Amino acid sequence: MTSEQIERSRSALTAGKTRKALNLAWKATHRAVRREDRPTVEAALGIAESVAAIADGKLSRQAQQLATFCSACLNSSTGRLSTPTALGRLLERDKKTNDPAPPPTIPPGDDTA
pLDDT exceeds 70 at position 68:
yes
Give the C-alpha separation, 48 to 63, whole Å.
5
Q: Are the beta carbons of 24 and 36 closer than 8 angstroms?
A: no
pLDDT at 75: 83
Q: Between helices 57-74 and 18-35, what is the axis angle to 10°?
A: 20
pLDDT at 113: 45
Q: Are the beta carbons of 19 and 52 closer than 8 angstroms?
A: no
pLDDT at 84: 54
Give the C-alpha separation, 69 to 65, whole Å.
6
> Is pTM, for the whole model, over 0.75?
no
The arithmetic mean of pLDDT across residues 71-94, rounded, is 62
Residue 63 pLDDT level (bands cut at 50, 70, 90): very high
- Listed residue (89, 84, 87, 19) closest to 48, CA to CA: 19
pLDDT at 73: 86
Residues in the chain: 113
pLDDT at 97: 47
